Chains A and B, each alone.
Chain A
Amino acid sequence: MKILVVDDEKDVKDLFLQRFRKEIRREEFHFLFAFSGEEALEKLDAMEQDSILILSDINMPGMNGLELLEEIKKNYRTPPPVMMMVTAYGDEENYNTAKRLGADDFLTKPLDFKLLKDKLINIK
């Protein structure tokens, strides 16, 4: 399964590549990275009809995670990719908005990678 991680913090890439080192090597997961909402859309456009999961941060300059979520759920292919949103701890407002916009699942920061791994395995 392809997982597109969207976050404006560039070190997130190294973190994921190391946390899922074994899974990547075993080709269980294939991670892609975008550092803004706009870049995420470009990457999605360039992809084929793969099964894809998007794991997106909310707070990003330019197109933020909520706008990306809305764009994907409204205007993207059917069925739209699974969207898992990363919210800051205690950020009820963003959580509710994301839920209303059709987010499929949530994770809170700081990321619990074990929980994420379980969720990814389940979705797979």
Chain B
Amino acid sequence: MNPPHQALLEYFEKAAHLTEDERAALIKALKEADRALTIAEFKLDRTEKVKRTTAILLEETIEELEQKRAAIEQTNAALSKSLEDLKAAQAQLIHAEKMASLGELTAGIAHEIQNPLNFVNNFSEVSRELLEEMIEELDAGNPEEVKEIAGDVSSNLEKILHHGKRADGIVKGMLMHSRSNKGEKEVTDINDLVEEYLRLAYHGSRAKDKSFNVKLETHYDDAIEKLEVVPQDIGRVILNLITNAFYTVHERKKSNGADFQPAVAISTRKFTDHITIAVTDNGNGIPQQVLDKIFQPFFTTKPAGEGTGLGLSLSYDIVKAHDGRLEVETEENAYTIFKIILPN
């Protein structure tokens, strides 16, 4: 019993003025009060203990949370760094893919530049000779001949200009193709773009493997109006689809022998709200289990070192960035059609 209660108890027991009933009642009440006080004290003590424990736990939890926050911050920093590294790696890969396809083009480009340059040289030389002849004809008094020669020289100058521009366009195209920054959209003649990259792909493939040959068919829809596209990007898609087509027909020719006639057809077509650029080959076709993966990055069926596995994946992204679609239709050992669909 607590000391004041004990003193009261002793007082009640000794107090002479209390009747026995009153003493008993007072002592009982005092004992009950003391028990209640003991219980309250116990509860208070327990609450205090819980409070202290909770405070300790809270402190620990706060510390733990702080540690976790620091860890998360560290992880975040590491993730950001990884993301940056990944982006840099991706940019490098895209650049490597561009360079790889540019490498494929080199021979084609050399051929494509050499031809117009030859024409520039030849038509310049022949024009000089024609002018000498013109003087002879003037001296001989043959105005009709002079007129005819003048006409030829004039047409030659146009040809020189045309072929000069042709070589210029090829060099510009090559530079644009290798540029690593994002290209701007330009109003572009799709048929000309397809033809330009077809020639580069053809001569590139020929230069890489002399035994390569293919029956080429082209159908260009003249109704196609000029479109706003990033020409070097769409050019890369066209180049990728054509070189893939050349690769597969060449592979089939190697395995099927002389009876097989490799053929690749390139066509453009205008519809009401879109245009299509289709590349059809009579190569090996794409098996169903491979078809699901062809647009995945790094997926390739070519032997190691021959393909980056990024061509179709990048092509898919480029066409998507133009709000278009890249579709494929194929039958094993029969044909494959890749179709670029661009909004009109």
Please measure, in the bound complex, the distance between the C-alpha atom of A59 and the C-alpha atom of B202, giving whole angstroms. Answer: 10
B57 within 8 A of partner (CB)? no
**Other-chain contact of B210, A9, A93, A111 (Cβ < 8 Å):** A93
Please measure, in the bound complex, the distance between the C-alpha atom of A118 and the C-alpha atom of B130, giving whole angstroms. Answer: 20
Total interface residues on B, CB under 8 Å, equals 27
Please measure, in the bound complex, the distance between the C-alpha atom of A14 and the C-alpha atom of B151, giving whole angstroms. Answer: 12
Please measure, in the bound complex, the distance between the C-alpha atom of A59 and the C-alpha atom of B216, giving whole angstroms. Answer: 13
**Which residues of chain B come closer than 8 Å to A14, judged between CB atoms?**
155-156, 159
**Which residues of chain A come closer than 8 Å to B203, judged between CB atoms?**
59
Total interface residues on A, CB under 8 Å, equals 21
**Other-chain contact of A110, B122, B133, B213 (Cβ < 8 Å):** B122
A-B contact count (CB 8 A): 52
Task: Contacts A64-B213, A93-B210, A94-B210 given; indicate if A109 touches B155 (C-beta within 8 A).
Answer: no
B154 within 8 A of partner (CB)? no
**Which residues of chain B come closer than 8 Å to A19, judged between CB atoms?**
122, 126, 129
Q: Is the CB of A97 within 8 A of B210?
A: yes
Q: Is the CB of A9 within 8 A of B123?
A: no
A121 within 8 A of partner (CB)? no
Closest to A97 in B: B210
A51 within 8 A of partner (CB)? no
A62 within 8 A of partner (CB)? yes
Digit string of A102-117 for contact with B (CB within 8 Å is 1, else 0)? 0000000111010000
Please measure, in the bound complex, the distance between the C-alpha atom of A2 and the C-alpha atom of B114, giving whole angstroms. Answer: 28
**Other-chain contact of A59, B111, B163, B214, B215 (Cβ < 8 Å):** B111
**Other-chain contact of B114, A15, A62, A88 (Cβ < 8 Å):** A88
**Which residues of chain B come closer than 8 Å to A110, judged between CB atoms?**
117-118, 121-122
CB distance from B257 to the nearest CB of A (A): 15
Q: Is the CB of A15 within 8 A of B123?
A: yes
**Which residues of chain B come closer than 8 Å to A113, judged between CB atoms?**
122, 125-126
**Other-chain contact of A109, B118, B123, B156, B163 (Cβ < 8 Å):** B118
Task: Contacts A109-B114, A109-B118, A111-B118 given; indicate if A18 touches B126 (C-beta within 8 A).
Answer: yes
Chain B residues 188-226 with CB under 8 Å of chain A are 202-203, 206, 210, 213-216
Q: Is the CB of B159 within 8 A of A62?
A: no
Q: Is the CB of B111 within 8 A of A88?
A: yes
B47 within 8 A of partner (CB)? no
Task: Contacts A14-B155, A15-B126, A88-B114 given; indicate if A62 touches B121 (C-beta within 8 A).
Answer: no
A61 within 8 A of partner (CB)? yes
**Which residues of chain A come closer than 8 Å to B215, judged between CB atoms?**
62
**Which residues of chain B come closer than 8 Å to A94, judged between CB atoms?**
210
Please list 25 pairs of residues, one from A and one from B, whose beta carbons are closer than 8 Å in the complex, sorted by A's number: A9-B115, A11-B119, A11-B159, A11-B163, A14-B156, A18-B126, A18-B156, A19-B122, A21-B130, A21-B133, A61-B202, A62-B213, A62-B214, A62-B216, A63-B213, A64-B206, A64-B213, A67-B213, A88-B111, A97-B210, A109-B114, A110-B117, A111-B122, A113-B122, A113-B126
B positions within 8 Å CB-CB of A: 111, 114-115, 117-119, 121-123, 125-126, 129-130, 133, 152, 155-156, 159, 163, 202-203, 206, 210, 213-216
